[in-house]
Amino acid sequence: MADASLRGQLLRLLLLPVAGILAVSSVAAYYLAREPATDAYDGALIDAGIALADRIHVRDGTLAVDLPSAAEQILRTDRFDTIYYLVRDPSGKLIAGDAGIPPPPVAQRPQDGSVFYDATYRDTKVRAAALLAPCGGQICTITVAETTRKRDRLVREILLGSVMPQALLAVLTLALVWFGVARGLAPLERLSAEIRKLSPRDLRPIEPALAPAETHPLIEALNQLLVQVEESNRNQQRFLANAAHQLRTPLAGLRTHAELALAQPLSEETRAEIEQVHSATVRIARLANQLLALARAEPGGRVEPHSAVDLKGLAEGAADEWVHSALARDLDLGFELAAASVRGDAFLLREALGNLVHNSIEYVPRGGHITVRTGARNGRPFMEIEDDGSGIPPQERERVLERFYRMPGTTGTGSGLGLAIVREIVAGHGAALEISHGMGGRGCRVAITFPHG
């Protein structure tokens, strides 16, 4: 649908019927009120014509209208309209009044009684009444006409009087629909808020009681989907964990045999081949360990209950291994460690810090500097690694967090999993991960900042 708003759809569905009902009721009210009022105005014209008929006399054998000026002024006086009259003898000769008032159409000529018709007189629309009246034993024709200002005013008043209340009622109806639908959709808003709370780490079913009964089939379908997604995640994690476990034992044996072989007297060619086997074994073993860590760090993985973890002690515990690796690559590895305690999984936090240090050791050129820091900043515990290597360009800082992604032109033996594992661990601890430049705009700084204790 082009518009997913229920309120908008309901308003559009109601707008046309409401407008149609308003138009029909307005037209009906107009005609119902107009006819009696028009009859009353037409009756006034007839009354004026009858009054004129009473003033027709025969004087000296000639027909004349005995109408004093005061009486004529009263006849012509109207608050809104101009009134005209015309008296003609049986031959059509003007006896008195305003010459030029159009006679009624031939088909409407008063054969007996009276007739009403519309005409134009002096470039103005008029309503006229023509009636036959006895005069001296003959029949005279009396025409009384008036402009239509009060009739037009009546039309406007009728329309305003009938349309305005109904228009107001229609607007109020639409407003009630708008706010009523908003109130009716409030449970759906609460349901949306509950769904937004879900995350890959929290796929608990939605409670149907939170939403109207009409949405229960939707919630049941969503809950079934959540169960399937959670089961899929567990199957994937079990596969990764089992595959990594199955690989570790033969890889450890292969590494041991390679190291034993290197300890024997060998030719240069043989030693070079076995060193390559040993190096590949080390890389594969690290990849297996990373897969295990990833399976544990992912949503739904096996996470130990969070307990107090000393970040400074965590770094100090692994410092010896890191220092030896750094010295082997002629790197200056320094520590600026201050006490900082967080609640978390010590194994995963050690894995995150180890991956960051390993990345720096792997990619910083020989002679470079790496600094490991722990402490608190603005009241929030943190741990970070800073180096003076080539760094990560800003446009790549999101992509390097993807699994198995390595920047184009990257050297080294990494698999592209290290930072992805760090991201999962950081998310599982509700912490924030930031990648930026190092000191002086050189190198790279990766900081993990934890929530307030």
Per-residue pLDDT tens, the chain, 453 aa: give them: 445 566 677 777 777 787 788 778 777 777 776 777 778 888 888 888 888 888 888 877 788 887 888 778 878 888 888 899 999 888 888 888 888 898 888 776 665 578 899 999 989 999 999 988 888 778 888 999 999 888 888 877 877 777 777 778 778 877 777 777 777 777 777 777 777 777 666 677 777 776 777 778 888 888 888 888 877 777 776 776 676 667 767 777 887 888 888 888 888 888 888 888 877 777 777 776 676 666 666 665 555 557 889 999 998 988 888 888 889 889 999 999 999 999 988 888 888 898 899 888 888 888 899 999 999 998 899 999 999 988 888 888 888 888 778 777 666 666 677 888 888 888 888 899 999 988 878 889 999 999 876
Residue 77 to residues 81, 155, 179, 347, Cα–Cα distance (Å) = 8, 22, 55, 106
DSSP run (H or E) holding 165: helix 149-184
* pTM reported for the whole predicted model: 0.48
The CA distance from 91 to 343, in Å, is: 119
Q: Which residues contact 154 (CB under 8 A, 6 or more apart)?
A: 34, 37
Question: Strands 369-377, 432-436: parallel, antiparallel or unpaired by DSSP?
Answer: unpaired
The CA distance from 134 to 114, in Å, is: 13
The CA distance from 260 to 271, in Å, is: 12
Q: Which domains does the chain have, with CATH numbers?
A: 6-155 (3.30.450), 214-292 (1.10.287), 304-449 (3.30.565.10)
> Is the Cβ–Cβ distance between 102 and 121 less than 8 Å?
yes
Which tokens belong to 66? 């005995």
Question: Strands 94-97, 83-88: parallel, antiparallel or unpaired by DSSP?
Answer: antiparallel
* Three-state secondary structure call for residue 154: helix
* Sign of the alpha-carbon dihedral angle for 345, 346, 347, 352: positive
